[in-house]
Amino acid sequence: MVEDQLRARGIRDERVLAAMGKIPRHLFVEEHLRDSAYDDNALSISEGQTISQPYMVALMTELLELKGDEKVLEVGTGSGYQAAVLSELAIEVFTVERIETLALRARKTLERLNRKNVRVFVSDGSVGLPEHAPYDAIIVTAAAPHIPHEYIDQLKMNGRLVIPVGSRFSQILYKITKTPDGTTTITSTPCVFVPLIGKEGWDDEKGVYH
């Protein structure tokens, strides 16, 4: 997976490649999907949600530019896989999930893997997680209809936000950096994520937007 799917497609951050080589992805998928855990695609994790394709996890993680001493927020815990990868690369990881059953399962898996620097929360992450802000980096692993200002507010100066933004079924991955003058934005790649549902996201799974 690391060589064929990640390095061969241009992932260069050695720390990201090492973290993805270390975290056992098969423990984050349902038992009947274990044989497919390292395949080059997203997989279902129940509740209609998905664990992202390995390449997308690597790309988003690389864009966060983590050096090791950061405090990171992930929105959309899902299986907990992305949070586990982040836990190898940062000091402290806060991850928030709106569906309690997923959050509980992710917490269990992360405990089993002794990921002591990850904390899982159940709440609407479309408004961030203000009680633990500010963050050096925020990664949103669900599709947003727009960029919630809360994320920028909750970033430290020079902090990075990586977020897929667009319509319900197709988005563009953005990297936004908070600067003294406001923000700078880089567009990365087209992508498809499940919807961010909540106050600053979509109304429901069908993608109704208030």
- Residues found near ligand SAH in the complex (CB under 6 A): 45, 49-52, 75-76, 78-79, 81-82, 96-99, 102, 124-126, 141-142, 194, 196-198, 201
Sign of the alpha-carbon dihedral angle for 48, 209, 100, 105 = positive
Q: How far is the CB of 157 from ligand SAH (least distance, A)?
A: 25
Q: Is 79 among the catalytic positions?
A: no
Contact yes or no for 75/126 (Cβ under 8 A)? yes
75 versus 133: smaller Cβ distance to ligand SAH: 75
Q: How far is the CB of 76 from ligand SAH (least distance, A)?
A: 3
Instruction: Count other Cβ atoms within 10 Å, centred on residue 91.
Output: 13
155 versus 197: smaller Cβ distance to ligand SAH: 197
Q: How far is the CB of 200 from ligand SAH (least distance, A)?
A: 8
Q: Which helix or strand (DSSP H or E) is residue 64 part of?
A: none
Q: How far is the CB of 163 from ligand SAH (least distance, A)?
A: 12
Q: What token pair was written down for 203?
A: 């109304």
148 versus 159: smaller Cβ distance to ligand SAH: 148
For residue 63, how many C-alpha atoms fall within 13 Å in the half-sphere facing its CB? 24
**Residues 6 or more apart in contact with residue 129 via CB below 8 angstroms:** 73, 75, 94, 96, 121, 123, 154
- Which 3-state string (H, E, C) describes 23-36? CCHHHHCCHHHHHH
Catalytic, out of 36, 46, 52, 87: 52
114 versus 181: smaller Cβ distance to ligand SAH: 114
Q: Which residues are catalytic?
A: 52
